[in-house]
Amino acid sequence: MHIGRALALSLAALLLTAQGALAQDDDLGELTTKRPAKKQQTSAENLADLGRTGVFVGVGGTFVMENFGDLSIGGDFQNGWGFNFRLGRRMHKFFALELEVEKYSGFDGDNAEVDGWIIGLNGRGYFLPNPGRFQPYALIGAGYADYELTNNDDLVPRADRQETHDGFAARFGVGIDLYATQTVLVTTDISYVLGVADVNEFDVIALGFGVAYRP
**What pLDDT score was predicted for residue 97?**
98
pLDDT digits (tens, 9 = 90+) for 171-197: 999 999 999 999 999 999 999 999 999
Rounded Cα distance between 215 and 211, Å, is 13
Q: What pLDDT is stored for residue 101 in this prediction?
A: 98
What is the per-residue pLDDT for 152? 83
Residue 155 in this model has a pLDDT that exceeds 90: no
Q: What is the pLDDT of residue 71?
A: 85
CATH 2.40.160.20 fits domain 52-213 = yes
User: Which tens digit of pLDDT belongs to each residue from 102-148?
Assistant: 999 989 998 899 999 999 999 999 999 999 999 999 999 999 999 99
pLDDT over threshold 60, residue 85:
yes
Confidence (pLDDT) at 205: 98
Q: Is 149 in contact with 73 (CB distance < 8 Å)?
A: yes
- pLDDT tens sequence across 17-66: 445 544 444 444 444 455 655 556 677 777 889 999 999 999 999 999 99
Mean pLDDT of 196-212: 96
Yes or no: say if 113 and 107 are a contact pair by the CB < 8 Å rule. Answer: yes
* Average pLDDT estimate for 54-81: 93
Residue 151: the pLDDT is 86
Asked whether the predicted pLDDT for residue 154 surpasses 50, the reply is: yes
Q: What is the 3-state secondary structure (H, E, C) of the chain?
A: CHHHHHHHHHHHHHHHHHHHHHHHHHHHHHHHHCCCCCCCCCHHHHHHCCCCCEEEEEEEEEEEEEEECCCCCCCCCCCEEEEEEEEEEEEECCEEEEEEEEEEEEEECCCEEEEEEEEEEEEEEECCCCCCCEEEEEEEEEEEEEEEEEECCCCCCHHHCEEEEEEEEEEEEEEEEEECCCCEEEEEEEEEEEECHHHCCEEEEEEEEEEEECC
**pLDDT given at position 48:** 83
Q: Taking 50 as the threshold, does the pLDDT of residue 7 lie above it? A: no
- Give the pLDDT confidence score for residue 186 in this predicted structure: 98
